Amino acid sequence: MPASSDDEGPGSFRTAGIREVFWPSAPPRDAEDIVPADQRRAAQTSLDSLEVKLSVGALLLAAVAGIAIPAYIASEHKVTQRAKHAVTVAPDAWLLGALIVVLAVLGFVAVWRRKRTMVTFDLVFIGFAFTLFIGLVGFLYIFLGGWLFLRAWRVGKYGTTSGKVIARQTAERRAARSGRGKEASGSKSGSKALSAPAERKPPTASKRYTPKSPPRKKIPKPAK
């Protein structure tokens, strides 16, 4: 009787399901495929495999940093000097770190449900929180949220996120628009030529006879 493999069972299927939720495999798809118009709304609100992987990696980093950075601040910088007064910074650091961790958990829920809008705003809020710790890291999270929003806009307008396909579509639309403009201008000029009145001729001389006026009589000078 053949031995059953260990990777078959409910546990393996559960693990595979979790892996597909948070680290999905990219489906075979041509980069130049255009999403049909009736499916663009669903593609805008959801996340593809690349966006899921980047979001999960950013959220994992945020969760770890939300614990590690406050712990470092609490151990190395317990107080700070503000206007001749020593102020403890550990409670503020732990509060901000807890906020980042909560936002990361909410981000994982949004990724699990494939809610692009929730993930985008969650990453932006994490970025604003990180600007108080490490400014550059915070701006990177804000940039990632803006990148997700830009891809949604591209899918809604062009049906793809490929820059080459978008450039080709833009060039085709511009050429078609200029062609329609030339046709419209040609038809307008032709209609003007047809509707223009005939050129007016100068008026001819009147044939009516007009008698000449008699010569003026000379008045004689008075005699001396």
Tens of pLDDT, residues 116-148: 999 999 999 999 999 988 889 999 999 999 999
pTM: predicted TM-score of the whole model, two decimal places: 0.67
Q: Report yes or no on 53 lying in a domain.
A: yes
pLDDT of residue 101: 95
Q: Report yes or no on 191 lying in a domain.
A: no
The total number of structural domains in the chain stands at: 1
- What range does the domain containing 121 cover? 19-25+37-168
Of 112, 111, 153, 144, residue with least CA distance to 125: 144
Q: Report yes or no on 183 lying in a domain.
A: no
pLDDT of residue 39: 87
Q: Report yes or no on 125 lying in a domain.
A: yes
Per-residue pLDDT of 69-109, as tens digits, reads 888 887 876 655 454 555 556 778 888 999 999 999 999 99
Q: Report yes or no on 219 lying in a domain.
A: no
Residue 164: is its pLDDT beyond 50? Answer: yes
Phi, psi angle pair for 85, to nearest 5°: -130, 140
- Please state, as a whole number, how many other Cβ atoms lie within 10 Å of the Cβ of residue 103: 23
Min mean pLDDT across 14-18, 21-25, 87-91 is at: 87-91
